[in-house]
Structures are given as structure tokens and as C-alpha cells.
Structure 1
Amino acid sequence: MQTHEIRERFTNHFVKAGHVAVPSASLILDDPNLLFVNAGMVPFKPYFLGQQNPPFESGTATSIQKCVRTLDIEEVGITTRHNTFFQMAGNFSFGQYFKEGAIKHAWALLTNSVDEGGYGFDPEKLWVTVYLDDDEAAEIWEKEIGLPADRIQRLGMADNYWSMGVPGPCGPCSEIYYDRGPAYGKEGGPIADDSRYLEIWNLVFMQNERGEGIGKDNFEILGPLPKKNIDTGMGVERVACLLQGVDNVYETDLLRPVIDAAQKLSGSEYGKDKDSDIRFRVIADHSRTAMMLILDGVTPGNEGRGYILRRLLRRIIRSARLLGAQSKTMDVFMNTIMDTMTPSYPEIADNRERILRVAITEENAFLKTLESGTQLFEEAAAKVKASGASTLVGKDAFALHDTYGFPIDLTLEMAAEAGLSVDTEGFDTLMAQQRARAKADSRAKKHGHTDLSIYREWVDNNPTEFVGYDNLEAESTIVGLILDGEKVNEVHAGQQVEVILDASPLYAESGGQIGDRGEILVGDTVLKINDVQKIGKKLWVHRATVETGGLGLGDTVTAQVDKAWRHAARQAHSGTHLIHAALREVLGPTAVQAGSMNKPGYLRFDFNYTEALTPDQLKQIEEVTNQAVDADWAVNTIETSLDEAKAMGALALFGENYGDLVRVVEIGGPFSMELCGGTHVAHSSQIGPVAVLGESSVGSGVRRIEAYSGLDSFRYLSKERAVMSGIATALKAPSEEVPDRIAALSQKLKEAEKKIEDLRQAQLMAQSGDLIHAAHDINGVRVVSVRLPDGTSAGDLRTLALDVKNKLGENAGVVVLASAEGAKVPFVVAATKAAVAKGIKSGDLVKAMGEYVDGRGGGKPDMAQGSGSRAEGLDAAFGAVATVVSQI
């Protein structure tokens, strides 16, 4: 049974049972605790935490959620069941059915025949575990399902008690296992061997609330939850492994094609060697994870999500190289995995070119890293051999890995080829220390979960009605007041407060548009609104200063938007849509939005693109944008279903979760059509001129374009015109000739500077003869020891010293030059071949000088240099050189 069919059967089973099918959320959610969605329940977390009521009338839901877990990335390929990306099929009940319902639903789907819509598993091969004292679950399994008591095993909190790792919902769980037979391990059930008995489904009975603590079993159970909930997770990849009769999750229909492609590219054969097999599996697993991350808007970087993606891509490239691949591989791997995954995720087709561009760009960059890393390794290996040792120390191996991104596997292989070993214990120690720091940081972030429970009452019972699309003023009722994090009944002049209204015309920050500014008025009371934030997508929180008077719960007030603010904000937001459309017209569909921010008069737009834009491209983008402004297109908004919006061609933002009903903003028909809840102008001409300021890089594969709109654009252009006029006047040239005039002047300046430098160098070299005449003999060695005028640079000292040394010819000679350059005292020593043959070493002389000028330095026997900070010690330093030479 193909994986796509396994997914379809799961969804159909639970929809027929009355569950609402919920599409997978993006792998990237706005959650301070998570880099990526790592479990099927994550998108439902507000309902389990009690922050919001579930929007499903049935109180039940089902989903097949994309998940990524990378904490144990090194285990990929070693175990038979570990994937960094996996699909978690789940069914959820929010206060409806509980243990019996969850168990019966799971058992029916697993054991019903294929003709009945089930998976057709043999009931005789299924085992379950329950929590130690969960007699209720054990009894349901035995008496209701008919599972023999000897196939029901009990485990402790570490294995069969679930929590999110922070205070909140928790409860016992029951896990379902499939017995793969004696070929996979010993008998005795999951307790005896969890490789033979493969876990395929976890049923969590969320019934309690946990307290503080760290780890899976080191926390207190505070008491029961108001409602008993169900959260289950079935591993789609593991079920596919069993139903397709393959040994591991890497050989299923979704990943095996990548392994086959890797065999062709590398010339190695899968199934012949343990180490090679691990590399094949890493390639297959990481290719899919990387592709899905790029699909959801992640780009390679040096921290956070970007670092994870970069690490995955580099492990793919490294594994392919170790298998023997000589050419670039990312194009083949990405295309292969996109072919296998598109039936389940059709949006891959629309993003294929962008995904390839990001992956291939990273491959090209890492191949350069491999080249430089190889050079660094060879230098480190040469030092080891020169010292007479045979082991590359762990510190050097770790530096290659951590600082330069050079994989340890390649370090080990190259060391073996060079006849060296690697201090792997030292390397592992440093890696363990790094992981410990990362885990500690992760725990700290996890406990930093923002407490939004104070808003729960209003989110559930008094969601804000936004009336600001058509009105800038509205009569509202005060339904909530928060002062210093506490609910209050009234507020007074001078206080900073949060005000919750039953209806508001002010836009709350979202979609890149910052919140409106305005006022709340009643009688003599004036509250200045400084910001508006959205909680749970339902509640508008107005952050305000009480300037005069006071307010109380239940008061009827007038809320009004600052008209000038809103006008300029709408210009910028609509301008952002035009910039996006212009980018796609000029650069192509791979220029996909990666974030935006707009406020009155200003906008910035981040987009996925791997190359810097040329001046001509920027000019085109600005021109296309302003052509759209000049076209005076109507700006239309359409409320429709998400599926219909996508069918219309509306663009959606990565990482954003949309409800069933969405708002489409359309400007100029097919020119710009996006899902957007922001405020906009009525016609494109109302945006006013748009002035593009420039573009820059904000991370690997992400560019940022910035622009002004409306009056701010006019002011910027007016200022630029004034600057240009001033330059044109100074040059006595028409403005259109200014660029050529400046280019010509710049060229003349460069030529003049070169002539000046040539003259300076000639004057410098002219001193050589005088310096040689100033030489004095010390035991048959001609010594030139001179302090040059202050300001002479270290580079000039070196150039002159070499010239004097060369003019000394076959004679034994030493050239010592120094100067004072600001607070620094540079000095140089050069020795002829004959002087070196006598035993004179420039490095020793530099060290001797350093003691007198509070400096240090070094170099080779024939040339060395240093720098100090005490110019008054130079005479003594020259004397020290003479003493050393006289003693040789």
C-alpha cells in the first residue's frame, strides 16, 4: 500500500466517524518554544492549553501533520525507524470521547480489512503498552477489544506518560506495537525488544495538569483537567514500512527512489556495507526534510531554522562524496524527492524552481567550503607530522567541524589516508559540551512560554469585531482592562493600560502591517493608543496611555483611528503588494515572499532569491510598480474559501495559518492577487509614487528591498533632486551628464593617486643608497640600523628593507628599520643569505627589539617584523640588535 493511500485511508476513517479534517499546518509556527512543528498536536495546542475553545462543532478533528525533529540528527540511518521529517496522522477529541473511543477508533482502522477501508493488520501481531496504574485502559484493551492480557504490558512515566515538557496538560498514554517476527529480535513484547516490536501509534489520554520539572518523569501531577481530551499520533512512515514489507523507513516508496538515484551518482551499492548504507539513508532522509523546509520558506543560514537546513544539506553533500559521487548531486536528489512527495503536497509543483535554486546554491557554496576545509586539514596534518606525532588533536578536528563546517567523517577518512589518527575522544567531548549548551538553551527557551491565559476569557467569549475596513471611528464598549498584567475595573490618568473593546476600527498588527495609532474618547477622557496587538487571532489588545480622565468596565466610548496614520499605512501596505508583483514579473516566480514590514510611508519586503539584484533590475522593479500606480486599478477584496482562493491564483504567505474563510486582495486582476487581512487603498493611484531605496542581503538566499510610498516617497525624491541639482551646479553640467562627469573625475583621481603613490615609492627607494652608506661593520656584518621619519608605515618599512637587503648583494648584512606611526611602533629586520649563513636570524632580532618597545613580532630567518607601543625605547632596541650581532 502506497504512502499516499495510507494517508487517505486515515483521513477517510476519521471523517466518516464525524471528525473535521484539518489541513497540515506549516512546519514554521509562531511559537517561542519550537523551531519546527514536531508533533501532530502542536497546531491544536491553544485548545489543549485552554487558551481558546476549539472551532469544531463536533469537538473532534483529524489531521496529517508535517513534523520535523532534529535533536538526534546523528541517529539518522543508524536506527531503522528514525526520520528527521515525518508525517504524524492524528485524531483529536476536545472533551468528547475519551479512552474507549480512542482505542476503538485506532483498533478498527488498523485491523479492518483493506476492502473495508482499513489497513488489514493481523490482530495477532499487535501488542500494546499502558501506563503503570492505568487499569481503565488495560481493561478496555482486554474486555472491549479482546486483546489477550499477555500482550498488554505496563511501563512507567518515562515511556507511557505524555506532557509537553512544560507545565500544562498531561496524561497517561497507550502505545500500539506491531510484532515484526523473530528475524528482528527476541520475543517478549515491547518491553523486551522495541526493534522487533515496532511502535506505530500512541494514544494520549490527556486528563491531568502537570507542574514544573525537567525530563519525562521528574514533575508533579497537580490535578485533573476540567475536560478530558484525546491526542493520538500514528507514524505514517512506520505504517508504510510494515504495509510495504520493507526492513526500514528509508526503503518505503517515498525515500527508496532517492537511494536508487544516489547509487547511480556514486557508483556504490546499497545493502553491501553498513557505513555506506547509513550514508544512503542520510541522503534519502535529509533530502526530503530539506525539501519540505525550503517549501515552507526556510533558507540556509548560520542560526536557528536556517542553520538546521544548512546542516541537513551539507550532510547530504558530504554523504554523497563519501559514497564516491564526483559531480554535483543536489539537482537529482531534490527532483527525485519532489516527484515522490508531490501527490500528497501539490504545492510542491508551484515551488519546484525555487526549491531547486535554494538547494543548488547551498551545494555550490559548500563545495567551496570542502575545498578550503581540505586545505586547512592538510596544513593541520603537516604540523602533526612535523612535530613527530601521529594524531590530529580533538581541538583541531572540532575547529574544522565547528568553525569551517568541515565534516568529521571526511576528517577521519583523510587522516587515515595521510597515515594519521584523530583524537575522537577529544572531539566527542567538545561536541558533547556543545550539545549540552544547546540543550540547556532549548530548555530555557521552552520554559519561556508566554502566558496568554489572562486573555482567555475574552478570546473565548468576547472576540473583537474589527470594523476598520470601512470605518475609522466606532462606538464601542469597554469589555476588559489590564494594568501591569492584572485585570482591573478602572484606570486613571497617567497609567499605561491595555484596553479590550467589543468592536474596534483600529487595525491590529499582523501580516507585516504594524498596528494603527489613534484615540479612545469619552467625555473629558482621552486615551492615546500607542499600539494594537492581536491575541489568538481573535482579540484586539489596545495598548494606550490615559492622558486625561479615566475609564471603567462597561463604559461606552468612541474609538477612532488617526486618519493621517491610516492613510499612509494603507499606501505602504498596498505598495508592498505592488512591489511583490513587480519582483515576480522582473525576477520570475522564484522570488517568493519571506516576510514584510510596512508602516506609514515606508515598506520593506523580504524575498527568497539567491543573487544580488542589478541596478537595472531595481530600476525595472521600480518602474513596473509605478506603472501599476499610474494604471489607477481598483483594489478589490474578496472573501472566499481557502481552496477557491488558491484556485484563483492568490498567493499565500509561508508559515501563516489561514482559516476556512480568507480575504483576497486583488489589484489589477492577475497583476497582484494575495491572501491578506490588511488595510488597503481603494485605487492603486492613491498609493502615490513609490521610490525604491535599494536592496540587500538579510541571510543566505534571502534578499530585502526597501521603498518609500506616498508623501515620504515624494520627500525622498525631492531631496535626491536637490542633491543632484547641487552636484550638477558644482560640475557645471546638465544633470543627465552628471554620472559620466563623476565617473571621469573618479578615473582622473585614481590616476592621480597612482602617480602620487609611484612618486612616493620612488622617493622611498631613493633612500636605499643613503641607508647603505650609513651601514657600520660589526664582526664582518654590515648593519643598517635607522629610525625613519614618523608616519612611515610598516608596509613601507618592509619594502625599503627588502630593497636595501638586495643591494647589499653577497655581503653579510642586516637591515633594521623602525618608525613611530601614531601610537604604534612598527619595526622590520631583513638579513642577507650570507648573514643567515653566519647564524643570524631576523626573528631573533625582532624579539630582542620587542623587549625595549613593549612589542612583539616574528618571522623567518631572512625577514621578520613586529610592532610595539613605546617609541622612546627604539635607541635601546637598536643597541640590542648590535649586541646580538656582535655575539655571533
Structure 2
Amino acid sequence: MKYMGANELRESYLSFFEGKEHLRLKSAPLIPKNDKSLLLINSGMAPLKPYFTGLETPPKKRITTCQKCIRTGDIENVGKTSRHGTFFEMLGNFSFGDYFKNEIIPWAWEYITEVLAIPKDKLYVTIHLSDDEAFEIWTSKTDIDPKRIFRLGEDNFWEVGIGPCGPCSEIHFDRGAGKIETSEQFEEASEADKIVEFWNLVFTQFDKDEDGKYNNLAHPNIDTGMGLERIATIMQGVNNIFEIDTVKNIVNRVCELTNSKYGQDSEKDISIRIITDHVKSISMMLCDGVQPSNEGRGYVLRRLLRRAARHGRKLGAEGIFLHKIVDTVVENYGGAYEELREKQDFIKKIVTLEEERFNETIDAGMDKLQVVIDEVLANNKNIIEGKDIFTLYDTFGFPVELTEEIAEEKNLKIDLEGFKSHMEEQRRRAQEARGENTYMGSDENPINKISSDIITEFDGYSKTILQAKAIVLATKTEFVNELIKGEEGYVVTNVTPFYAEMGGQVGDKGIISNENCKIEVIDCKKNVGGKIIHYVKVIEGKLTLNELVTLEVNKERRGAISKNHTATHMLHEALREVLGSHVSQSGSYVDQERLRFDFTHFSAITEDELNKIEALVNEKIMEVFEVKTDVMSIEEAKKSGAMALFDDKYAADVRVVSVGEFSKELCGGTHVYNSGQIGIIKIVSESGVAAGIRRIEAVTGVNAIKFMENKNNLLKEVSSMLKCSDKDIVKRLNSQIHELKDKEKEIFELKAKLVQGAEDDILANAREIRGVKVVTSKVEGLDGNSLRDLADKIRNKMELGVVVLASAVDGKVNFVAMATKNSLSSGVHCGKVIKEAATVAGGGGGGRPDMAQAGGKNAEMIEKALEKAYEVLETLVK
């Protein structure tokens, strides 16, 4: 058994199965396509599910891949065990109704024992209890010792919800388990990690229905998965995935940046491994289009990045450093995943921005934690409640271990069980929001069950009207032979001019008709299998299956959409020319009203830059370039300089849309025939939507003219109100602003005089609670800042006391409470007082024991609220 590097192993596996007539496909992006059951791709077969279900036809019946995967279910174990990681690569070979057990079992044995040369006395095989067929093939078509085959139960049967499933056969490596004679001994050795599973051969031969019945598939499939990291540990003679060559190189870089040594301190080793794994994961996720956010896959990314940053702090790393590790990730994985190299600078920039943001968040979390600790101590308790730990973790990204560490310094404990309970509740809500899982996570309606044999030709690039046959009809619950007046449902035809929503372009609308019916096409989309579906409502008559119909796209709407789509391409190129070549598309949306374009850039675009971008696009529009479409291979397209989204999967032949010599992109959408048809473009907004992602919205043609007319009308209205000409608006506004400032200054000075006189009057009405002086008062017309200043002045005149003030301005109620420091030992807590008082006035708030603020909605309840403050103090003061 010779040493093999991870990159060598990957190539070895894929080449072996290419030799068995398999088509090698690139790894699919980590963001699932048309699969609502997953946040992120988590297995080799996940992107291929439409082929297993028959919803799509695979490019070949035999496929092999090395798939990028992310799993975070065991995130708490990452770094603590030898085999847990959030990112991993899954080697796989797949058969879609072609070969089955008779082929894959001997092939697997051939690859393991001949290519990898793993000694046969180091291998074990498990099969499902009932799979006599697999046992017979293993013992007759390989030379494995039958005593090294064990029958197991549910661990050797693969299924996820309803859909394709079946028994499996796992292949294991012996790390020194000693003599194994029974299934029980085998399972004990596996639990102890003395035997490690590295390849799973899944025999997908059943289709589990909603009633739990296992129906035989007409064409059984093969789905295998071998963890690259797992087999690399075997081939490199190490026991830990963090010690294989590609990962160890990242470990070494982490140690270098944090001035740490690996293998000398178990706690530090955990942090080193967490940083290594998480930076690898976030690099892959950012590369594939995942953006940091507070929900979904973006939250997974942000959580991993913040965990890595936190463990960097534990190791003593100063400032931001994670982006420096990205280079090492690219060095080790860029050969297999060229997109990493293409996006290297972008990935580093986003990681930098997020780590800087986390450092700020940590500081905000420290302030919040201090408030929590003050409240715990003020209540003579010694434990921080689970809900507060969860709020710190969920809202501020504040690590639990940091809360625990700081609590220990204050001789406090934390309610970990309560925290876990809140975490579990959050997971439950997330699961409920996703709904019941299905194999593809898709809506259980007929359109997602259309056979792969159904083909619809799209013939709408140059046509908006044509004749076709209605080959599938369905309501929202079942396939039918006819659709009648008033019904809503779905129509599939053998050919269509209707563009189905794709690539950011909305679907077409229009009419389907014949002498028997008139049907409105509300929308046009593709189902999970990529079939073109017309979403319809029957206006007149009825449509019968297999009838000939005329399909007519709303031509005016299509024209407006096409203008916006071509303008989007031109905007993309203008952004690159004005801002730099780092700009790349992150997302887009095009309808008949406007276009929206998301792109990579790291700062707000200046007014001058926006003007240059808009002017450049308009200049090119007016040059009336021909918009030309060519069909070519993906390789030819790239050589021609066409821009492509490399996180998208492209067919062998692609459409390249060129706007003169100005813009060239891969695109399947509809476009104008020449740029002059766009008329004009007008940028209406520019904003940030995520770290390193900006968004431009714009209008074209008639909509651009309408936009400018509205602006012009608004200008006229303003000039009329200001009683001046258009050109004098700015001058008149500046004059009025100066007048307002003078008046505000005058009002402030008057209020200050009034307040100065009010201090003694308010103090004169003080009440006393067990030696603590309490002042409550309603003050007319003071905003929050003025109210706070007044409270502070009154407090400074008190030896031992509390002041609670309230004021209403424009219907908004402000409360403030302040206490002298020496009153806190008597039990005074302004945060508790203000919280109860504000509730009476329909508001809320809180704060520290010595100062707190709140707001309210009901000004008429101020007096009662202040009385409530007094009542609360009665209960607090000892």
C-alpha cells in the first residue's frame, strides 16, 4: 500500500471509473438547484437526484464525480474528533438504470485491492441482513474471505423520506481491531474506531411511497460514496483527517499565523483544527455564491466564520487573520476547483469584511453581557439564565464558551441546559418552516412528477406565436384529461414560444387558445425536472388533452423584458470598465418594469462613478450595436472571452449573446435585436445587499422616460411650494435651512431656561422610601436628550435618591430613570423600574441599575406610568 496524496487520490478514482465508461462531471455548486430539501449540498448524489427520480435525463447512464459537500449537523464535534469536518469531498460513481450489483461490487474490489493496493486482510465488508444477492456476488466475483463479510441491520439500508432507497454494502479498513468473528464484535470495533468505513455502495432498487410501501424500481440504480478525506487517512497512514497532506498544509498555516504549535496542547489543537476546517468551508461556500446573512445557508457561513475568528482569539491572534489562510486553501484545492483561483481575491475580501464586523459584534456582545451580569448581581443570583445566553449567541454571535469564561471570572454559573432548550426550539421552528421533507423538497403536485420522456421544445427566441399540441394537463392536485372554464392548472405542450423563468428573467405571459377555449397564461416556469410548465387559468370553454392550440406570448411585455435583459448585460460590462475587472454578477432579476443587478464590489459607488456607468451604457445603446447570438461549445465560449457564471452548470453547447464588441456573455434569455431598441437606461438606486455585494436597479425605454417625467413633475411641485424657479430651489432651501437652525437654537435656549427653573420645583415634590428620596415628574415638550440632561442635573442635586421623568413630544413618550450610585446598595435598579413604568404607557425599554431609558405610545398614561415607577421602587428598596 503506497502513500498517495489527496489530489492524487481524487484523480486516481475519477480516472478509474472513466476507464469503466463513466462520464466525469465537475462538482456541482454547494447551493442546491431546484431542491428545497437541502440548504447546502451534503452528499455526492444530492445534485443528481433528478436523474435518480427520472425527472431529468442524465447526460450519460454512467457518471463519476468528486462532489464538494458541507454538513454542519455535528459542528460541535469538529476539532474534537479525528473524523468530523464541515467540508468534505465525496468521490462517487453512479448508474442510472444501467449496471447494478454484478458490476459495482467487483469494480470496487478491483479499485481497492489493485489500484490502491490495500491488503485484503485489512478489509471488511458489511451488507444488509436480507441482501443474499450482494453476499453471493461478493463471494463469487471477488476473492474476499467470506468470514470478513458481516450482515447488519438498518445501518446498511439507505433512505431519506419518501422516494428512491435500497440496501447498501459498506467497505471498511482494519486499523488494528484484532480477531473479529461476529457482527457484534465488528460493531464494537467500529464504535471504538478500530475499524473505519470508507466506501458505501448503495443499491437503489426500491421506491418508497407515501404509505411506506417499498416498490421495486423498473431500472435499479447505483449510488456510491467514498469520502476523500477518509480514504486519504488510510493511504497516508494517519488517524486524523487534519493530518492528511492538503489539510495539514492549512493546519501549518494556522499555526504560523497564531504563533501556535500543533500537537503540544490538546485545547489549542481543537482551536487550530476548527479554524482549519471552517476557513476551508467558508472559502468553498463563498466561491459557490453563498453570501453571509442571518438566515439559511448565509447564517451557516457566518456562524462558521465567527467560530473560526473566536478560536483565533483563543489562540492569541491579534486583529483579522482568517483571510490569510484562504491563500493556503486555494493552493491546495485550486487545482481541482479552478473557480477558487478565479474568486480568490473576492473570497479574501468578504472574509476580511466579515471578520471585522465580528470584532465589532463581539464588543457589542460584551456590553450586553455586562448588563445581564449587573442584573444577575442586583438580584442576588449566581446564574445567567439560558434565554440570556441564547440571545447573546443568536443576536450578537457571542460564543457560549466566552459567556461561560467571563461568568466564571464573576463567580457566576451559566444555565447550559436552558440554552440548549432555546437552541432546540429554534431548530424545531426552522424545521417547521421548511415543512415536511420529500426527496427533492419540492411541492407535492403533479407538475413535479412529469416523466422525463415528456419533452417541450422552446422556440421563442424569434417567435411569439405558434401552434402546438397539449400533451399534459393538470390541476393543482392531479393529472386530468381536460381543463374547464374557471379552473386553474398547468398545461405542457410539445413546443412553446413562452420563455420559462430562468437566469433572473421572469416567465412570459399570454394566451393559449383554439376554437374550443381561451386560456390565460399567468406564468411560465420550469419544474424540478426542468420541464417547461404553463401556469394557466381557463377563461372560456375547455381544453382537452392532445388538442392543437395556438400559443401567443404578450409581445409588448416580452419586448420590455428583452430591453431590460440586454441592458443588464451592458450594465455588467460598464461596471467592469468603471469599477474594475473584479466586478462579477452575483444575481439578477429582469421583468417588464425594471432590472436589478447584484454584483461583487466592496464599497458604495460614488455619485460620479454612477454617472460614468450610466453615461457609458447610454453611449453604447446609442451606437446601435447588433445583438448577436451564437451557439458554441463551452470551451469555445470561454476562449472567445464570453463571461460566464462558473457556479452554474452549462450544457455542452451554450448560447453566447454579444452586444457589438462591447459585451459578450453566456445567456439563455431573450434579447433585443440591436442596442438602439433599448432607447435609454436610467439608474434609479444603488445599495448594499450583503458583505461585498452591491445592487443597482434601473429602468429602460418608456419606463425610463416615465421615471424622468415623474422626477421633473416633482421638481415643479417643489418649486411651486417654495415659490421660486427650478434653478433657485437649492438656494431657497439653503436659506430656509439656515432659518430653521436659528429657530431651533432659539427654542433650545428657551427650553434650557425653563428646565433650569424646573429643577428645584421637581425636587420639591420628592417622596421618600426607607431613606431613599424618589422624584417622579411629567415634563412638557422635552425630547429624549433634553429629558436625559434634566434627569442628570436633578440626580446631581440628590445625596441618595432616584429620579424618574417622562415627556411626550409629537405623540411619542420618552422615559428616563437615574439613580445615585450609593442608592444601588439599597436595591434600586433603574432598568427594572423603567421597564415596568413604560409598559403602562404601551411601551418598553430597560437599562443599567443606575440609568435606564424607555419609550411609550400612550401619552395619556404618563401619570399612571410614573405612579407605577414609585410602586416598583417600593418593592425594590430594602
Deviation digits for residues 189-210 of structure 1 (CA, Å, limit 9, x no counterpart): 4552252222111101111122
Structure 1 position 160 matched with structure 2 position 163: no
- Residues in 2 aligned to 1:597 and 1:875: alpha-carbon distance in whole angstroms: 50
What amino acid is aligned across from residue 397 of structure 1 in structure 2? I
Number of the residue aligned with 2:317? 325
Structure 1 position 142 matched with structure 2 position 139: yes
Correspondence 1:863-874 to 2 at 5 A: none
- Residues in 1 aligned to 2:16 and 2:513: alpha-carbon distance in whole angstroms: 55
Number of the residue aligned with 1:414? 406
Report if the CA contact (8 A) 2:50-2:529 is conserved.
no
Deviation digits for residues 410-449 of structure 1 (CA, Å, limit 9, x no counterpart): 2333344555554444444444454455556667345783
Q: Post-superposition shift, 1:615?
A: 2.6
Q: Post-superposition shift, 1:279?
A: 1.5
**Gap runs ≥5 in structure 2:** none
- Residues in 1 aligned to 2:195 and 2:525: alpha-carbon distance in whole angstroms: 49
Structure 1 position 6 matched with structure 2 position 9: yes
Correspondence 1:527-676 to 2 at 5 A: 527-536=519-528, 538-653=530-645, 655-669=647-661, 671-676=662-667
- Residues in 1 aligned to 2:676 and 2:71: alpha-carbon distance in whole angstroms: 48
SS at match of 2:125: strand
Change (3 A) 1:798 1:374: closer
Number of the residue aligned with 1:336? 328
Q: Post-superposition shift, 1:97?
A: 1.5
Correspondence 1:824-839 to 2 at 5 A: none
Match among 706, 719, 725 for residue 715 of structure 1: 706
Number of the residue aligned with 2:463? 471
SS at match of 2:396: coil
What amino acid is aligned across from residue 315 of structure 2 in structure 1? L
Per mean C-alpha deviation after superposition, the further-off stretch among 710-719 and 173-182 is 173-182
Report if the CA contact (8 A) 2:570-2:663 is conserved.
yes
Q: Post-superposition shift, 1:535?
A: 2.8
Deviation digits for residues 178-224 of structure 1 (CA, Å, limit 9, x no counterpart): 122359999954552252222111101111122459xxxxxx44231
Report if the CA contact (8 A) 1:728-1:734 is conserved.
yes
Per mean C-alpha deviation after superposition, the further-off stretch among 555-564 and 311-320 is 555-564
Q: Post-superposition shift, 1:537?
A: 6.1
SS at match of 1:753: helix
Q: Post-superposition shift, 1:370?
A: 2.0
Structure 1 position 179 matched with structure 2 position 179: no
Q: Post-superposition shift, 1:366?
A: 0.6
- Residues in 1 aligned to 2:352 and 2:399: alpha-carbon distance in whole angstroms: 19
Q: Post-superposition shift, 1:318?
A: 1.1
Number of the residue aligned with 2:286? 294
- Residues in 2 aligned to 1:858 and 1:400: alpha-carbon distance in whole angstroms: 16
Number of the residue aligned with 2:479? 487
Change (3 A) 1:447 1:796: same
What amino acid is aligned across from residue 59 of structure 2 in structure 1? P
Deviation digits for residues 444-482 of structure 1 (CA, Å, limit 9, x no counterpart): 345783357845786533311111111122122222222
- Residues in 1 aligned to 2:618 and 2:431: alpha-carbon distance in whole angstroms: 50
- Residues in 1 aligned to 2:829 and 2:276: alpha-carbon distance in whole angstroms: 57
- Residues in 2 aligned to 1:724 and 1:825: alpha-carbon distance in whole angstroms: 36
Report if the CA contact (8 A) 2:603-2:692 is conserved.
yes
What amino acid is aligned across from residue 750 of structure 2 in structure 1? L
- Residues in 1 aligned to 2:236 and 2:719: alpha-carbon distance in whole angstroms: 76
What amino acid is aligned across from residue 171 of structure 1 in structure 2? G
- Residues in 2 aligned to 1:665 and 1:793: alpha-carbon distance in whole angstroms: 59
Change (3 A) 1:119 1:458: same
Report if the CA contact (8 A) 2:830-2:849 is conserved.
yes
TM-score after normalising by structure 1: 0.86
Structure 1 position 130 matched with structure 2 position 127: yes
Change (3 A) 1:473 1:831: closer
What amino acid is aligned across from residue 253 of structure 2 in structure 1? A
What amino acid is aligned across from residue 689 of structure 2 in structure 1? V
Match among 449, 464, 468 for residue 441 of structure 2: 449
SS at match of 1:460: coil
Deviation digits for residues 833-875 of structure 1 (CA, Å, limit 9, x no counterpart): 9x989x999989999x979x98999999999999886679789
Number of the residue aligned with 1:217? none
- Residues in 2 aligned to 1:844 and 1:456: alpha-carbon distance in whole angstroms: 55
Q: Post-superposition shift, 1:124?
A: 2.2
Q: Post-superposition shift, 1:393?
A: 4.4
Structure 1 position 26 matched with structure 2 position 14: no
TM-score after normalising by structure 2: 0.87
Structure 1 position 17 matched with structure 2 position 8: no
SS at match of 1:569: helix
SS at match of 1:246: coil
SS at match of 1:547: strand
- Asked which structure has the greater CA Rg, the reply is 1
Q: Post-superposition shift, 1:17?
A: 1.2
Per mean C-alpha deviation after superposition, the further-off stretch among 382-391 and 630-639 is 382-391
User: Share of identical aligned residues, percent?
Assistant: 39
Number of the residue aligned with 1:120? 117
Match among 58, 73, 79 for residue 77 of structure 1: 79
Match among 356, 359, 362 for residue 367 of structure 1: 359
Structure 1 position 210 matched with structure 2 position 208: yes
**Gap runs ≥5 in structure 1:** 113-117, 214-219
SS at match of 2:279: helix
Report if the CA contact (8 A) 2:829-2:848 is conserved.
yes
Match among 506, 510, 521 for residue 514 of structure 1: 506
SS at match of 1:406: coil
What amino acid is aligned across from residue 162 of structure 1 in structure 2? W
Report if the CA contact (8 A) 1:161-1:173 is conserved.
yes
Change (3 A) 1:722 1:287: same
Number of the residue aligned with 1:267? 259
- Residues in 2 aligned to 1:243 and 1:816: alpha-carbon distance in whole angstroms: 72
Change (3 A) 1:190 1:841: closer
Change (3 A) 1:19 1:374: same
Q: Post-superposition shift, 1:129?
A: 0.7
- Residues in 2 aligned to 1:466 and 1:602: alpha-carbon distance in whole angstroms: 25
Q: CA RMSD in A?
A: 4.3
SS at match of 2:617: helix
- Residues in 2 aligned to 1:499 and 1:322: alpha-carbon distance in whole angstroms: 60
Name the count of aligned residue pairs: 862
Change (3 A) 1:803 1:370: closer
Report if the CA contact (8 A) 1:131-1:154 is conserved.
yes
Change (3 A) 1:377 1:682: same
Structure 1 position 695 matched with structure 2 position 686: yes
